[in-house]
């Protein structure tokens, strides 16, 4: 047994599996309610949580908990506590969710079950965010981040950093948010997650722009846009070129700003992004270009061969 991060099943798939497990449970019951029986029962409870059958799921989990306590199966007890944490979170009882995750965490920590410790910490932190206990949640995610860094667990580190960013954005602590995005960028670089790298650069640029640091913002926007070009992410190229255009405008380089918006429009037309086309044309109109002049700029750019 383990604590799930996510179960990705449709309602119909979950119901189909529930029927299968109920049949297995009937067969196992004839042989006596052994460990296999309670393993299947806990799996049934997970599927019931997935389709919001919280009452039935909790009833089954309490039966599992009773069994594991009688068997003095510490890992089994911890797993049930963790699943109850999931159940209470999904049903909106965040205090109970936090308590169950905490109970599971204490056991896993004592038994040095690293992966389960991390899942419990993230569960505790998420529950605290829902309870608007942001300082306590921050402490949890910082502890979680440290554990992930020690183990080079980049996947869970990104989860923790994302939650820390959310907390500090809510508190408008922009300097902290900036440092967290830098750590996120480092993590995406290690994973070679190009989309994550691009978006992290854009987010850092937006934060610099927020502080009127347009030169730094331009650096991040250009870096992100180049990575988007390298990866052929047309939608992100459009976004990046628009960011670059805006930064150049505030830096007083109107000609280059206009050129970047025209290039962004070329990509928007290429992928038929109607919203982007409208928005960019409005911006180009504000530069004093009419429809005929915009088309002329597009034709010149296309004839130059600079657009792939």
In this prediction, residue 306 carries a pLDDT of 62
- Return the domain boundaries, the chain: 1-107, 193-308
CATH number of 193-308: 1.25.40.10
What contacts 47, CB < 8 A, 6 or more positions away? Answer: 7, 9, 14, 17, 18, 21
Question: What is the reported pTM?
Answer: 0.84
211 phi, psi to nearest 5 deg = -95, 15
pLDDT of 66 > 60? The answer is yes
> Do residues 237 and 222 make contact, with C-beta atoms less than 8 angstroms apart?
no
Alpha carbons 204 and 207: distance in angstroms, whole number: 5
In this prediction, residue 1 carries a pLDDT of 46
Query: Which has the closest alpha carbon to 102: 90, 92, 88, 91?
Result: 88
Helix (H, G, I), strand (E, B) or coil at 259: helix
Q: 20-24, 92-96, 212-216, 237-241: lowest mean pLDDT where?
A: 20-24
Q: What is the largest CA-CA distance in the chain?
A: 82
**Region 167-171 average pLDDT:** 95
List pLDDT tens digits, range 217-259.
999 999 999 999 999 999 999 999 999 999 999 999 999 999 9
């Amino acid at each position: 047994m383990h604590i799930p991060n996510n179960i990705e099943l449709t309602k119909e798939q979950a119901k189909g599996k529930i029927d299968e497990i109920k049949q297995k449970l009937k067969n196992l019951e004839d042989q006596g309610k052994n460990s296999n029986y309670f393993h299947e029962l806990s799996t049934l409870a997970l599927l019931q949580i997935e389709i919001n059958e919280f009452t039935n799921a909790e009833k089954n989990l309490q039966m599992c908990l009773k069994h594991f306590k009688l068997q003095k199966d510490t890992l089994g007890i911890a797993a049930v506590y963790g699943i109850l944490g999931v159940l209470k979170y999904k049903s909106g009882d965040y205090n109970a969710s936090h308590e169950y995750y905490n109970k599971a965490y204490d056991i896993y920590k004592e038994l040095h079950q690293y992966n389960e410790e991390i899942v419990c910490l993230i569960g505790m932190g998420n529950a605290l965010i829902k309870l608007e206990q942001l300082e306590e949640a921050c402490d949890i995610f910082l502890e979680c981040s440290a554990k992930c860094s020690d183990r080079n667990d980049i996947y869970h580190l990104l989860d923790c950093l994302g939650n820390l960013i959310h907390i500090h954005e809510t508190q408008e602590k922009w300097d902290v948010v900036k440092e967290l995005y830098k750590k996120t960028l480092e993590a995406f670089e290690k994973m070679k997650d190009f989309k994550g790298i691009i978006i992290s650069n854009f987010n850092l640029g937006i934060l610099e722009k927020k502080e009127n640091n347009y030169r730094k913002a331009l650096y991040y926007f250009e870096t992100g846009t180049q990575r988007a070009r390298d990866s052929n992410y047309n939608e992100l190229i459009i976004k990046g070129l628009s960011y670059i255009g805006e930064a150049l405008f505030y830096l007083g380089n109107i000609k280059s700003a206009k050129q970047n918006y025209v290039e962004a429009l070329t990509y928007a037309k290429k992928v038929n992004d109607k919203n982007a086309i409208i928005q960019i044309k409005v911006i180009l109109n504000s530069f004093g270009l009419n429809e005929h002049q915009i088309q002329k700029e597009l034709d010149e750019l296309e004839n130059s061969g600079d657009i792939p």
